[in-house]
Amino acid sequence: MNLRTADAGSRHFMKTLKENIVNVVKLNMGRDVIVITDKHKYYVKFKKEFLMTFNEQFSDFVNEHPEWKGVGETINIEHLRIANRWKCDYIIIVYPDGRIYKIPPRLWFNFSTNNFLIRSQERGNTYTNDFKKKTVHETTCHIPVKLMERF
């Protein structure tokens, strides 16, 4: 499988679901979706790759907890807040090779905050909206991929 876009990733997830889809809400300029079924709510993100530098970025954590050594994953804290506001049961991460992982948003947030796996950008990202440039200093929550379950 070679999924190349967020749209392809969310379609792949929806085909995999064995639940009746009630509604799909596009977020983050269409890059993320909330899939509402008759049983659950899912916040679906497409990621091109794992956070390969997890061990280097969080070496103190990995040295103290070697069982979590490996690749990681990251999410903008604002996306976790959105998932919480929508009362999503799971964050779903879809990768280009078709692998799908799930984790409850509260578990992601609690694990990253309890283990000091949160980073704020010093430089920030610059976005242009309505012909105005704005620099946003995003805060991201990180976890080891081992914390997530395969879907």
Evaluate whether residue 95 is within a structural domain: yes
> pLDDT at position 125, please?
56
Q: Is residue 1, in this structure, part of any structural domain at all?
A: no
Parent domain of 20: 6-150
133 in a structural domain: yes
pLDDT at 131: 67
- Give the whole-angstrom CA distance, residue 138 versus residue 136: 6
Q: Is residue 118 part of a domain?
A: yes
Residue 60 lies in a domain: yes
Calculate the alpha carbon distances from 54 to 11, 28, 58, 141 in Å. Answer: 28, 24, 6, 12
Is 102 domain-assigned? Answer: yes
Question: DSSP assignment of the chain, as one string?
Answer: ----SHHHHHHHHHHH--S-EEEEEEEGGGTEEEEEESS-EEEEEE-SS-BTTHHHHTHHHHHH-GGG-S-EEEEEHHHHHHHHHTT-SEEEEE-TTS-EEEE-HHHHHHHHHHTT-EEE-SS-EEEEETTEEEEE--EEEEEEGGGSEE-
Query: What pLDDT does 29 receive?
Result: 86
In this predicted structure, what is the pLDDT of residue 134? Answer: 64
For 87, phi then psi, to 5°, come to 60, 45
pLDDT computed for residue 30 by the predictor: 87
How many distinct structural domains can be found in the chain? 1
**Could you report the per-residue pLDDT of 105-137, keeping only the tens digit for each?**
999 999 999 999 999 876 655 555 666 666 666
At 41-95, the pLDDT tens digits run 999 999 999 999 999 999 999 999 999 999 999 999 999 999 999 999 999 999 9
| pLDDT range class, residue 138, cuts 50, 70, 90 | confident
Rounded to whole angstroms, the Cα distance separating 55 from 117 reads 11
| CATH code (residue 93) | 3.40.1350
pLDDT at 7 over 90: yes
Under the banding of pLDDT at 50, 70 and 90, the label for residue 1 is confident
Structure tokens at 106: 């509260």
Amino acid at 96: P
